[in-house]
């Protein structure tokens, strides 16, 4: 069955129950009643900064958009791009697109005008749906989008180069369009995170999306009473595919627009959330805020919170150790995946394996894994190689990029570009991205290992390790270190802390600066290389 059938089923079975709640603290009004009172409203409700819709309304809105698109000539196989911040309209729009037989094309909300144009052109999008935050960026390219036939605006004060989505959809039928969709139909084009340059377009089928629903619920046991706090951006496979577990269970989700520790804890408390998916920086910020006294746990009721899980990047074991000390009743899990594998779940730790914190786990439900050498042969346990995965969520291809597709798809296997090793118990540990490996004096350095070590230093908030060209060693490891607020730290303190590292693994250059991360929490290493490397050769500076 296509993924749209789950929404139809939920509307039939749980129509009067709340499906989605948007909490936007930026819109909080002084005269609103307290949040706790708002949280008790279990119906379609709009009040200030909190909006809620039922499963029936969710499905009706999706149907209205689908019928609007069909009226405007959208047909099976067309591409409809979405550029929105997380909001109550996001998922009904996504499902409305799918109900027409067209493909949804979510775009990163951080894209510049040039990147928006690039992705619209690459995906062959003919319809563009966007929100008020992007008016200036869209206006800059409005006359340079020859393939875009329809522009729909989500919000008030519609610009003159678009039509208002709400006004047009409101008068359309709320009945499901009579379009037959199969599992094998194309469903969506997602874009790679762009940490290695312009993003690639990743084509997925309905079957792949459905598989992620099943895998997510298998891993995290979402039930009807669970409430999922969704904070990461919905354009990314990670957030949406974790929410797919709620879709399959028919349970409620909270869309929080805000990532500060206070907002996350407040939302988890007042909305009685049971499952929270965090990125590493957000979990780190929560712990730091608790340590500093910025937030007091006694101010929140977190008794319903049963599971905290993290994905999108390697997770420092020291972070989870601290988390479990403060939240001993939370089950912990981590998931590994890529946009090319329909998001998280290809590798899964499992809440029963907290003793293996630091590993990403074993092959997820329905998935298989291999670790391969440069010739494509499996390596021995304990040896480092490239992680390859096979399963129901592997992409069909990079859209319009045969060469890139052939480089990573080897039959049923997807070569991930991640270097990994498997321990004696069969648990997989990420070592680093293949392209991030630093070769210094003939030795391979894996930045993630050095980063994990440095994060254990209590003055460090965040760290990224990159390679810089060196006239003597070929490359050296440089550590860009972000110190916690209101603390000071010297280069010598860092090097003293690194005394327990093997000498060849110690960073030979220390740079105190902010560590940039993209919206999914990944360190933007190309940006750091551009800033600090610039293609120039440096002299070894520390620990020579």
Whole-angstrom distance, CA of residue 337 vs CA of residue 423 = 19
CB 358 within 8 A of CB 428: no
Residues 6+ apart with CB under 8 A from 386: 371, 372, 373, 415, 416, 417, 418, 419, 420, 434
Q: What is the mean pLDDT of the chain?
A: 88
SS (H, E, C) 446-462: CHHHHHHHHHCCCCEEE
Here the contacts of 292-298 (C-beta below 8 Å, separation 24 or greater) are 294/261, 294/262, 295/261, 295/262, 295/265, 297/265, 297/326
Bridge partners (DSSP) listed for residue 129: 82, 152
The two three-digit tokens of residue 101, written as one number:
């037989």
Structural domains in the chain plus CATH codes: 4-258 (3.40.50.12780), 307-433 (2.30.38.10), 437-532 (3.30.300.30)
The two three-digit tokens of residue 334, written as one number:
């981590």
Of 347, 344, 341, residue with least CA distance to 396: 341
- Note the pLDDT of residue 501: 82
Q: Which helix (H) or strand (E) holds 293?
A: none
What is the model's pTM? 0.82
The two three-digit tokens of residue 458, written as one number:
């209590």
Of 287, 345, 347, 339, residue with least CA distance to 316: 287
CB 38 within 8 A of CB 50: yes
Residues 6+ apart with CB under 8 A from 287: 319, 322, 323, 326
Using alpha carbons, list the distances in angstroms from residue 42 to 15, 16, 46.
Answer: 12, 8, 11
Whole-angstrom distance, CA of residue 257 vs CA of residue 266 = 12
Q: What are phi and psi of 324, to 5 degrees?
A: -65, -25
CB 274 within 8 A of CB 307: yes
Whole-angstrom distance, CA of residue 233 vs CA of residue 435 = 26
Query: How many CB atoms sit inside 10 A of residue 263's CB?
Result: 15
What does the pLDDT profile of the chain (544 residues) look like in tens digits?
A: 899 999 999 999 999 999 999 998 876 643 444 444 343 344 344 445 789 999 999 999 999 999 999 999 999 999 999 999 999 999 999 999 999 999 999 998 888 898 899 999 999 999 999 999 999 999 999 999 999 999 999 998 999 999 999 999 999 999 999 999 999 999 999 998 654 457 899 999 999 999 999 999 999 999 999 999 999 889 988 788 899 999 999 999 999 998 899 999 999 999 999 999 988 778 888 998 999 899 999 999 999 999 999 876 667 788 888 999 999 999 999 998 889 999 888 999 999 998 898 899 999 999 999 999 988 999 999 998 999 999 999 999 999 999 999 999 999 999 998 889 999 999 999 876 667 778 776 567 778 788 888 988 989 999 999 888 876 666 788 999 999 988 999 999 999 999 888 787 889 999 999 998 876 667 888 788 888 876 444 433 443 2
Q: Are strands 428-433 and 275-278 parallel, antiparallel or unpaired?
A: unpaired
CA dihedral (212, 216, 217, 223) positive or negative: negative
- In the three-class reduction of DSSP (H, G, I as helix; E, B as strand; rest coil), residue 479 is classed as strand
CB 228 within 8 A of CB 242: yes
- Note the pLDDT of residue 38: 41
- Note the pLDDT of residue 40: 37
DSSP string for 296-361 = -GGGS--TT--EEEE-SS---HHHHHHHHHH-TT-EEEEEEEEGGGTEEEEEE--GGGGGGBTB-B
């Amino acid at each position: 069955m296509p993924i749209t059938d789950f929404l139809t089923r939920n509307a039939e079975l749980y129509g009067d129950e709340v499906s989605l709640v948007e909490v936007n603290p930026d819109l909080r009004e002084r005269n609103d009643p307290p949040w706790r009172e708002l949280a008790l409203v279990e119906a379609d409700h709009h009040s200030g900064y909190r909006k809620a819709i039922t499963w029936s309304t969710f499905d009706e809105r999706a149907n209205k958009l689908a019928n609007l698109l069909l009226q405007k000539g959208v047909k099976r196989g067309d591409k409809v791009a979405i550029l929105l911040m997380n909001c109550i309209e996001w998922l009904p729009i996504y499902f409305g697109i799918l109900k027409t037989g067209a493909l949804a094309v979510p775009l990163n909300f951080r894209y510049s005008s040039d990147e928006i144009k690039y992705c619209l052109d690459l995906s062959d999008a003919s319809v563009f749906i966007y929100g008020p935050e992007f008016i200036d960026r869209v206006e800059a390219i409005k006359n340079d989008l020859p393939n875009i036939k329809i522009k729909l605006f989500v919000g008030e004060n519609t610009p003159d180069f678009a039509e208002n989505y709400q006004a047009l959809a409101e008068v359309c039928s709320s009945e499901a369009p009579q379009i037959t969709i199969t599992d094998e139909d194309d469903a969506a084009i997602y874009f790679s995170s762009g940490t290695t340059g312009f993003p690639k377009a990743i084509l997925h089928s309905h079957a792949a999306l459905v598989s992620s629903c099943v895998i997510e619920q298998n891993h995290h046991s979402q039930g009807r009473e669970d409430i999922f706090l969704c904070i990461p951006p919905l354009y990314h496979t990670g957030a949406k595919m974790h929410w797919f577990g709620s879709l399959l269970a028919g349970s409620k989700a909270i869309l929080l627009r805000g990532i500060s520790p206070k907002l996350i804890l407040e939302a988890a408390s007042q909305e009685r959330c049971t499952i929270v998916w965090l990125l590493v920086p957000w979990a780190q910020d929560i712990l730091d805020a608790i340590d500093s006294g910025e937030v007091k746990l006694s101010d929140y009721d977190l008794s319903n919170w049963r599971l905290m899980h993290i994905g999108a990047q390697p997770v420092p074991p020291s972070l989870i150790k601290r988390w479990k000390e403060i939240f001993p009743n939370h089950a912990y899990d981590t998931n590994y995946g890529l946009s090319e594998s329909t998001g998280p779940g290809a590798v899964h730790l499992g809440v029963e394996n907290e003793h293996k914190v630091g590993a990403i786990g074993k092959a997820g439900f329905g998935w298989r894994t291999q670790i391969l050498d440069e010739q494509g042969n499996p390596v021995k346990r304990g040896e480092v190689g490239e992680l390859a995965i096979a399963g129901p969520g592997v992409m069909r291809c990079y859209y319009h990029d045969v060469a890139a597709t052939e480089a990573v798809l080897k039959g049923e296997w997807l070569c991930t570009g991640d270097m990994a090793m498997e321990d004696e118990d069969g648990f997989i540990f990420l070592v680093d991205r293949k392209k991030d490996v630093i070769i210094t004096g003939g030795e391979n350095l894996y930045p993630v290992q050095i980063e994990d070590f440095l994060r254990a230093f209590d003055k460090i908030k965040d760290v990224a390790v990159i390679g810089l060209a060196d006239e003597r060693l070929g490359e050296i490891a440089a550590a860009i270190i972000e110190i916690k607020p209101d603390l000071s730290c010297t280069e010598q303190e860092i090097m003293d802390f690194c005394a327990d590292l093997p000498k060849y693994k110690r960073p030979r250059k220390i740079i105190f600066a902010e560590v940039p991360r993209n919206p999914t929490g990944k360190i933007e290493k190309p940006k750091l290389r551009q800033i600090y490397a610039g293609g120039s050769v440096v002299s070894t500076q520390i620990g020579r």
